[in-house]
Chains A and B, each alone.
Chain A
Amino acid sequence: MQQGRDAEGRTGRRTILKAAGASLAVAGLGATATACGGGSGSGDGTVTIRYSWWGAEDRAERINKTIALFEKKYPKIKVKTDFQQYTDFWKKFNTQASGGNPPDVFQNAIGFLRKYDAKNVLLDLGEQVKAGNLSMGGFRAGLEKFGEVDGKLLGVPVGSNSLALVIDKPVYTKAGVTPEQGWTWDDFDAAMVRIRDRAGRAGDSGMYGVMYLYDLYLRQNGKAFFTEDGLGFTEADLTEWWTKAEKGVKTGLYADAKKVVQVKPKSALSAELAGSEFTWDNFTVRYTSEGKSEYGLAPIPTTDGKKTGQYLGSLMLSASKRTQHPKEVAQFIDFMVHDPEVAKIMGYDRGVPATEAQYQAYQPTDPVNQAIAAYEESLVEAGVLETITPHPNGADICEAAFLRIAEEMALGKRSVSEAVEQFFTESKTALAG
């Protein structure tokens, strides 16, 4: 009796073990199936590439339209997309890239080229140019050189933009200020006073934290923010820059930092906290949809009345070194930078199109985009444009620290000397890493 029960019991357990085994096997199959589905190749030769960028909804809509065009022309290539806000984009990208799973193709900028090249993430697109999958001809104003670092082609520009002073037109008119190419910093300072006194608004939104503007100021004085491997200015330089800033905040020439912080992610300009703001010229498009006023572009003030230190900045498309489909990625980039239809859809959302073909294809009809085109034209005509050295590894952390510490200084939480000291300490760590 006992024996029989024991045997029965065992069979029972065996059944359970079998069942468990079977379910594990099913789970295993499931996993395999998922793995297959997630892969980017399939039987009929169709490949899927992943494309990610930063920007707002508006840009996403435009980009999706361009992708639809691309997929129509290249039916064997499918594009999977992903987008975030700027800072979130880089956090996600960093995590994906370190896990060996970066998107095949992605939006990139000058501050990240050396950083990710040092980390072995970026594909040298030069090979694809040689193979004929990507053309680097027909770019405007020498832009084809923009994504080159140490002889490697790490990014292809999709548009060009330049730093400008975006102004609230009615405010400037009310104050009776008309900025012109070649105006000096003294003229600018006088304008700030007039805007505060006559228009009842701070003149600027906080330019002391804009790394790219400070870079121009340094260039006007024969220096630069970054050298190839470090900082190109001294503590005395920064002390001068921030001392003036502190005074400007205290006297109401520059906007109250406390309020500027709170309107984020809206800009201080479109929130009517300031009469103007130094930023990229293509941001005028964004400010126009964000704010109620009419916005225009003014030139960068100079030290000597001539040299602005400006260069064309640019968003780029880069590819991952780990991509399984370098050829398709190159074809995709080629399409995005050369196809005239793409330019008609994108407009000046990512700056003025980088290639001559796309530049010709899109003629802006609205005043905002026309102003941007005119502004960039004027830069070319004035012959102020220079070239830029790709930022060193760690530059992005320096930029974030520069902005943050300037803000702390403006909020009165740090004296100028403390702020300068803190910035140099932090950037030394960042640039050494």
Chain B
Amino acid sequence: MRVTAEQDADRTTTEVPWAEQSAQSFGITIEDYLLPTHGRIQLISPEGALLPVEEQGSTPGHEYPMPDHETLLNAYRQLVIGRRVNDQNHALVRQGRMAVYPSSHGQEASEVAAALCLDARDWLFPTYRDTVAVLARGVAPLDVMTSFRGDWHCGYDPIEHRTAAQSTPLTTQLLHAVGLAQAARLKGEDTVVLGMVGDGGTSEGDFHEALNFAAVFKLPVIFFVQNNKYAISVPIAKQTAAPSIAHKAVGYGVAGERVDGNDLAALLAVLGRAVSLCREGGGPFLVEADTYRMQAHTNADDATRYRHDEEVAEWQHKDPLKRMRSYLTEANVLNDDVETEITEAAENVARGLREAMSVQPELHPLELFDHVYTVQTPQLAAQRAQLAEELEREGAGS
């Protein structure tokens, strides 16, 4: 189904502002709908206990139900795998078998929730740090790690997985997310798009342009900000003077919500509602996850130069994995057998990665010229021939 010119005209003449409509559905004012709750949404305490409703940070219209046990267990499984992959890759970098790895250790709940809130029909636009989200989307681990190993810039098919190439330039991918939503609307599809960004990325001009475009065109895009407190070394206080990043949404006419980014249940609940609202035409939506990067920016960074051990220790206490394990164990969803099975699954992924990374990748130098244009230009064809000749000479000499 394609949108016709008549439907177009229809939409512009009979529309009720979508944010107004969403606010009405919760029985609250548009201001109360667009602004995040005073604190942040948290369903489970750092100790793993279900919080009483009055301590969840919710206000009328901003109440979020606990996800069911099956959903939580499945997400916990991805959380364990994600943590194991983060730590495995960190080790591989130290061993010199991976060029670089920006770890999301400590942020895995946000990573997993970003992927699991979406359907197969939806699209994810990740950053360079969002490897765990890409894995949770179902992309094979080795294909995700190709770029960090250094043999090609993106090892998977974005269109097949409906997962864009991990973006290194900051925040540019949020505009791609908006454009994807535009194309989906043109095709009459009810695709929801989730774009990921860090706290530093919200200072870039593209953050403003993406939110503004999405709001003006009323597109089903979720802007998911992982506020991990540092953009390499620069703290959040030097990125923004706003009360929170979620508060920025209101200026665009977009709903914002702030959620405990280490609380997997709260993330799934908030993002789940954001997806539903977007699917029904009530988007876009901005979700800020309050979380922390436990390790350095990458292996080239020394985090001790800009933050104190006490701060790191404090966040250790809020670890998303321990929290969800405690909650699920207490709820009798997780027992030793299930835990063992999950641990083994994570070990298998880690072992697979270790083994794959210990094999020297097979490189095809002439492929350098194969994917620049649909048809090689005469100039590229000549350069390809030059390299082919050099390779032949090298081969003959060895």
Chain A bound to chain B = no
Chain A interface residues toward B at CB < 8 A: none
